[in-house]
Structure 1
Amino acid sequence: MALVILTLLVAALVMGFVAWPGSPMLLAQGNQLQKASVLQRWQAGEIVVLVRHAERCDQSSNPCLGPADGITEVGRDAARQVGQALDTLGLAHTDLLTSPATRTVQTAHYLSAHVVPQQEWLAACGATMGAEVLAHKTAQRNLVLVTHSGCISDFEAQNGFKNARKAEYTSALFAAVGPDGKLQILGTVNDSDWPSVLNNQVAEK
């Protein structure tokens, strides 16, 4: 009897892991970017990208750009790299928005080299995060949002990933708006993975 109960418990745990995936897939692995049709959806203007701000000064010993609540020089370089990667995908039909916090505003500046409109909801987040994303997404235009790890966690939890790992600095979470108007998370690209993604997956396309 004990063995039967143990077997049932193990089966329940396994089914739980299947039903509740831990974290979005890493799009740099294999050809996951192509499998998720990220490039085609980007060209169609269906993509939303949530970028976490770059390395923050108050949690690093690296040289700071300026304000203590801003980002480091290392973070600046990472933001530029992500910006160059997104530019390679094409930003002609893309809107950018940022949280008003110093670290996100700085990240957005080095990501785009332009002044990016600030939105308070990208700092507040919470239960309305997914709805706000949809409300600010224009048809046939991609949307890049510079925000915070907690906000990305809220978004993931509302879209099937309640136990996702904390987003890394300057990581990019890709999602798409489907024909039904609902959001679908496609996966994540960490900043250090962009060279391999661009060389191995985007270049092949």
Structure 2
Amino acid sequence: MLRSVLARYRNTLVIVAASVLTGAVTWHLLSPVPAPNLAQPKNAGQVLALTQSWAKGDVIALVRHGERCDRTTTPCLGLADGITVHGEVVVQELGANFRQLGLKNADIYSSELTRARQTADAMFIRPVEAQDWLFNCRGTMLRDALKHKLPGRNLVLVTHSECMDALEADMHVPTDTTFGYGASLFIQDDGAHGPQMLGYIETKDWSNITPMVTPVLHGVEASQF
């Protein structure tokens, strides 16, 4: 009789343990994951998805402004609410990376705040229109970005870390990623399947992105990454 009781007790423990393990695995699989860091080799597939989507004009890129003048002792570029001289140099290089991606098929907007406008001026040769929704963005960032995204054209938005967090929240992506100055967050929107998170690149990591190939209309070419 004791043996029978012990057997039933053991079977109950096995069932409980299996249920707990199954629940833990299910929670892990279904829980939201942060935006992928595209500089990590394990995310090479996301880099390829980015290059392919960019070639089709299906990407929205959010770029955080350059280094703030009011939070460092580094010399200011101009007004105290703008970016630093060092920050300008960094985002000029960032602009060169975006030009390698290709900007002929891209619409570009910036926040109205000085630090965002100075960043856009340093990154891009052509004038960039400033818009209020790229600063006042809580709860509306994804909606407004999709509203300004034209079919077959990439959209580049010079904005703020709060708005990048707001976009992640709108997409139900964890907002625990801390975006550095000049960080670029990419999502895919082909107009058919809803926006998809691609990942982000910090300014220091652009040169480390794994080279990929980008399909084009007449064959393949090496990605400018």
- Fold-level similarity (TM above 0.5): yes
Q: Which moved more, 1:124-133 or 1:25-34?
A: 25-34
**1:200 corresponds to:** 211
With the length of structure 2 as denominator, give the TM-score of the two structures: 0.80
- The alignment of Structure 1 onto Structure 2 pairs a total of residues equal to 204
**1:21 corresponds to:** 32
Q: What secondary structure, in the 3-state scheme, does the structure 2 residue paired with 1:92 have?
A: coil
Query: 1:89 deviation in Å?
Result: 0.7
- Among residues 85, 96, 117, which one is paired with 2:97 in the alignment? 85
**1:113 corresponds to:** 125
RMSD over aligned CA atoms reads: 2.5
**1:151 corresponds to:** 163
From the superposition, tell whether residues 139 and 65 of structure 1 become closer, same or farther in structure 2 (CA, over 3 Å).
same
From the superposition, tell whether residues 71 and 9 of structure 1 become closer, same or farther in structure 2 (CA, over 3 Å).
farther
Give deviations 1:125-181, integer Å, cap 9, x for gaps: 011111100100011000000000011000011113133312111000010103525
Contact kept in structure 2, 1:22 and 1:163, CA below 8 Å: no
After superposition, residues 1-205 of structure 1 pair within 5 angstroms as 15-30=26-41, 32-35=43-46, 36-180=48-192, 182-197=194-209, 200-201=211-212, 204-205=222-223
Unmatched 5+ residue regions in structure 2? Answer: 1-11, 214-220
Contact kept in structure 2, 1:20 and 1:161, CA below 8 Å: no
With the length of structure 1 as denominator, give the TM-score of the two structures: 0.88
Contact kept in structure 2, 1:99 and 1:146, CA below 8 Å: yes
State the alpha-carbon separation in 2 of the partners of residues 73 and 20 from structure 1. Answer: 41
From the superposition, tell whether residues 70 and 178 of structure 1 become closer, same or farther in structure 2 (CA, over 3 Å).
same
What one-letter code is carried by the residue in structure 1 that aligns with 2:93?
Q
Q: Which has the larger radius of gyration?
A: 2
From the superposition, tell whether residues 31 and 86 of structure 1 become closer, same or farther in structure 2 (CA, over 3 Å).
farther
State the alpha-carbon separation in 2 of the partners of residues 139 and 165 from structure 1. Answer: 29
Contact kept in structure 1, 2:141 and 2:167, CA below 8 Å: yes
State the alpha-carbon separation in 1 of the partners of residues 175 and 24 from structure 2. Answer: 14
Contact kept in structure 1, 2:95 and 2:124, CA below 8 Å: yes
Percent identity for Structure 1 against Structure 2: 33
Give deviations 1:25-47, integer Å, cap 9, x for gaps: 11122273544511111010000
Contact kept in structure 2, 1:31 and 1:201, CA below 8 Å: no
State the alpha-carbon separation in 2 of the partners of residues 5 and 124 from structure 1. Answer: 49
State the alpha-carbon separation in 2 of the partners of residues 56 and 10 from structure 1. Answer: 47
State the alpha-carbon separation in 1 of the partners of residues 67 and 135 from structure 2. Answer: 17
From the superposition, tell whether residues 69 and 157 of structure 1 become closer, same or farther in structure 2 (CA, over 3 Å).
same
Give deviations 1:42-84, integer Å, cap 9, x for gaps: 0100000000011101111211101000001121111111100
Q: What secondary structure, in the 3-state scheme, does the structure 1 residue paired with 2:66 have?
A: coil
Query: 1:182 deviation in Å?
Result: 1.5
State the alpha-carbon separation in 2 of the partners of residues 10 and 187 from structure 1. Answer: 30
Give deviations 1:72-130, integer Å, cap 9, x for gaps: 11211111111000100111100100000000000011111232101100000011111
**2:216 corresponds to:** none
Unmatched 5+ residue regions in structure 1? Answer: none
